[in-house]
Amino acid sequence: MQVAIVLYPGFTSLDVIGPYEVLGRLPDTEVVFVAEHPGLVVNDLRSLSINAVASFDEVPNPDVVVVGGGPGQMEQMTNENLHEWLRKVDRTSTWTASACTGSMLLAAAGLLEGRQATTHWAGHEILAKLGVTPSKERVVIDGHYATAAGVSAGIDMALTLAGLIAGDDVAQTIQLIIEYAPEPPYHAGSPDSAPAEVVERAMKEISA
């Protein structure tokens, strides 16, 4: 099985590294980082780069496609080369997936029209304008599309896919190996649970 994870300048690291850590541990699986232009691709904090070993044309038939989000995603909303590749590989992929605002790129490519999907909590209105029914669920499965809410939810999405692809025992084994048992010190992981002043501060930082 081949998993293609999309990179572009300004991606959020955990959006792609979380799914990589999970899906890369599935039996007989090859993970390939792909980009429009192969080579080192720098993240949104400009302090970490991942090597995209292949161009879009070099990965024509992945079994699973994963698109992460990040500030750089906005520039990709009109990248027809990326959109064309997403539409092409989606025709034969078993799963087309996203983490965080990566679902906006799937929607911009026309893949999620009329479907339910999730994204980062700050992006629900944009997703709706793209013809998608936004959901507050952490992971949404609609057809062969799997979308995750913000950043860390990509791990949940990948574990969900691992279970659907290889069975619950394999997925649970991976979860144990990576010791994914979150116990955050604060209850500020969503706008519904975070203090109002924290939500306000977060919105200002996102909009800056």
DSSP 116-159: EE---GGGHHHHHHTT-EE--SSEEEETTEEEESSTTHHHHHHH
Q: Looking at the DSSP assignment, which residues form a beta bridge with residue 33?
A: 5
The predicted pLDDT at position 163 comes to 98
The predicted pLDDT at position 25 comes to 98
E-assigned strands of the chain? 2-6, 30-35, 39-42, 49-52, 54-55, 64-67, 95-98, 116-117, 133-134, 139-142, 145-148
The predicted pLDDT at position 208 comes to 79
Of all residues in the chain, the percent with pLDDT exceeding 70 is 100
Average pLDDT over residues 45-50: 98
Instruction: Please tell me the pTM assigned to this model.
Output: 0.98
Q: What does the block give as tokens for 103?
A: 């679902």
The predicted pLDDT at position 190 comes to 96
User: Domains in the chain, ordered, with CATH?
Assistant: 2-207 (3.40.50.880)
Summarised one tens digit per residue, pLDDT across range 122-162 is 999 999 999 999 999 999 999 999 999 999 999 999 999 99
How far is it, in rounded angstroms, from Cα 103 to Cα 115?
11
How far is it, in rounded angstroms, from Cα 25 to Cα 80?
32
How confident is the prediction for the chain on average, in pLDDT? 98
Summarised one tens digit per residue, pLDDT across range 75-85 is 999 999 999 99
Average pLDDT over residues 91-97: 98
pLDDT at 203 over 90: yes
Average pLDDT over residues 91-104: 98
From the list 14, 82, 89, 100, the catalytic residue is: 100
Q: Does the annotation count 95 as an active-site position?
A: no
Question: Is the CB of residue 126 less than 8 Å from the CB of residue 107?
Answer: no
The predicted pLDDT at position 202 comes to 97
Summarised one tens digit per residue, pLDDT across range 124-135 is 999 999 999 999
Summarised one tens digit per residue, pLDDT across range 177-193 is 999 999 999 999 999 99
